[in-house]
Amino acid sequence: MQPGEVFSDLGAHDWAKADILYLYEKGIVSGVSNNSFKPESNVKREEFVKMLVEALEIPISGNNSGFFDSANGAWYEKYLSAAKESGIVNGRADGSFGVGNTITRQDMAVMMHRALSVMNKLPNAQNKAQNFSDSND
């Protein structure tokens, strides 16, 4: 590891290193352990919520989220609570959030849309995304 390097496992990911380090410096990502980021790992639902809450500076109240699969006092609980209170996440019909599950692109898009809506920052009709060839996936 080079002096001043935060994560020792970004060597093969030079294309993303500057962005990862920027997000780390802003407190939006923190890695999975000391000196390890695991850049090829899938993002879990609670990890994405933490990134969204931190990036958008959504106020954290410290309340319990109320999701039955969220452990009180877990590192992610305050982020789930903040996202739920602000209307960004609702959870699943059974009262769970899906803690530990890999997040889908669809769920990321829904959460980002809700967050932008709550913040009154939805793009206007001229800025709508084009159809993508893999949109059905």
Instruction: Using CB atoms within 10 Å of the CB of residue 70, give its burial: 0 to 12 exposed, 13 to 18 middle, 19+ buried.
Output: buried
Range in 9-13, 67-71, 105-109 the model is least confident about: 9-13
pLDDT of res. 11: 87
The pLDDT tens digits for 30-70 are 888 878 999 999 999 999 999 999 999 999 988 899 999 99
CA distance 113 to 109: 6
DSSP-based three-state secondary structure for 102: strand
Q: What is the pTM of this model?
A: 0.83
- H/E segment holding residue 135: none
CA distance 14 to 3: 16
Provide the pLDDT confidence category of residue 128 given band limits of 50, 70 and 90.
low
Residue 112: name the closest of 101, 24, 104 by CA.
104
